[in-house]
Amino acid sequence: MTINEYRTAIVAQLSEYRATHSLNVAKAAVQLAQKYGADVQQAEIAGLLHDCTKEMPAKEQLQLLEQFDIMITVAEHCAHKLLHAVTGPVVARTEFGVTDEAVLSAIRYHTTGKAGMTLLEKIIYVADFISEERTFPGVEKLRVTAFENLDDAVFAGLAFTLQDLVAKGKPVHPDTVAAYNEQAFALAWAKARAKKEREDRV
């Protein structure tokens, strides 16, 4: 399928709100890909398709996963909002004919993130946050950060999600925790080393 065909199919398949969101995420993903030297076409396709199963009823998504022998964990069982990231790549592959594993993986981890994200995965994770129609407090600052330092934007997104989930007493997916800790430990480690170097100098 061409990019235009993906776009038409997504607009036909999703509600007006979700289609607009998908077009906006694709647009932000393209801009981020240009800024950070990622493949623009992969970014656009992943952006367009990232929420392709978001409006499929949970029951149908669970059936689809059973049909394809895909295991989910207690986290997805307890939070059905997480299912669309697991079923998204299945539908992207079977209905949209996407075979590019990098694109499929960006769809797979767009909701939780994970430790060791690729550039494309980071771009889709951040594009989903800064998408034009988003209005949450702090989105303007995140839009600026996204084009200054992608890792900082990923970290801010993860921290925002964590705070929101914890405030509501909801379970946090282990991939979200791992993604957050990867950067949190790296920052803490860098700080500890800098402190030691300062101390060693005197």
Restricting to residues 114-143, which ones interact with ligand DGI according to CB under 6 A? 128
Closest distance of CB 25 from ligand DGI, Å: 7
Tokens 């689809």 belong to 64
Question: Of 44, 51, 121, 182, which one interacts with ligand DGI (CB under 6 A)?
Answer: 51
Rule CB under 6 A: choose which of 26, 33, 54, 108 binds ligand DGI.
Answer: 54
The item of ligand DGI, Fe ion, none sharing an interface with residue 176, based on CB under 5 to 8 Å by kind, is ligand DGI
**Beta carbon nearer to ligand DGI, 79 or 139:** 79
E strands in the chain: none
Task: Give start and end residues of each alpha helix (H) in 68-100.
Answer: 74-78, 83-94
Query: Is residue 82 close enough to count as binding ligand DGI by CB under 6 A?
Result: yes
Question: Quick check: 128 binds Fe ion (CB under 5 A)?
Answer: yes
Q: Which of 173, 179, 180, 182 binds ligand DGI (CB under 6 A)?
A: 173
Pick from 24, 53, 87, 161: which binds ligand DGI (CB under 6 A)? Answer: 161
Is 89 within 8 Å of 104 (Cβ atoms)?
yes
Answer yes or no whether residue 172 interacts with ligand DGI by CB under 6 A: yes
- Sole window of 8-16, 26-34, 108-116, 144-152 interacting with ligand DGI (rule: CB under 6 A): 108-116
Contacts of 149-155 with CB under 8 Å at 24 or more apart are 150/32, 150/36, 150/119, 150/122, 150/123, 150/126, 151/122, 151/183, 153/126, 153/129, 154/113, 154/117, 154/122, 154/125, 154/126, 154/179, 154/183, 155/180, 155/183, 155/184
Residues 6+ apart with CB under 8 A from 106: 42, 46, 50, 118, 120, 121, 123, 124
- Binding status of residue 53 toward ligand DGI by CB under 6 A: no
For ligand DGI, the closer of residues 55 and 101 by Cβ is: 55
Largest CA distance in the chain: 67
Residue 97 φ/ψ, nearest 5 degrees: 70, 25
Q: Choose, by CB under 6 A, the member of 108, 110, 114, 122 that binds ligand DGI.
A: 110
121 binds Fe ion, rule: CB under 5 A: no
Task: State how far the Cα of 81 lies from the Cα of 91, in Å rounded to an integer.
Answer: 16
Q: Does 42 bind ligand DGI (CB under 6 A)?
A: no
Residue 51 interacts with Fe ion (CB under 5 A): yes or no? yes
Positions touching Fe ion (CB under 5 A) are 51, 128
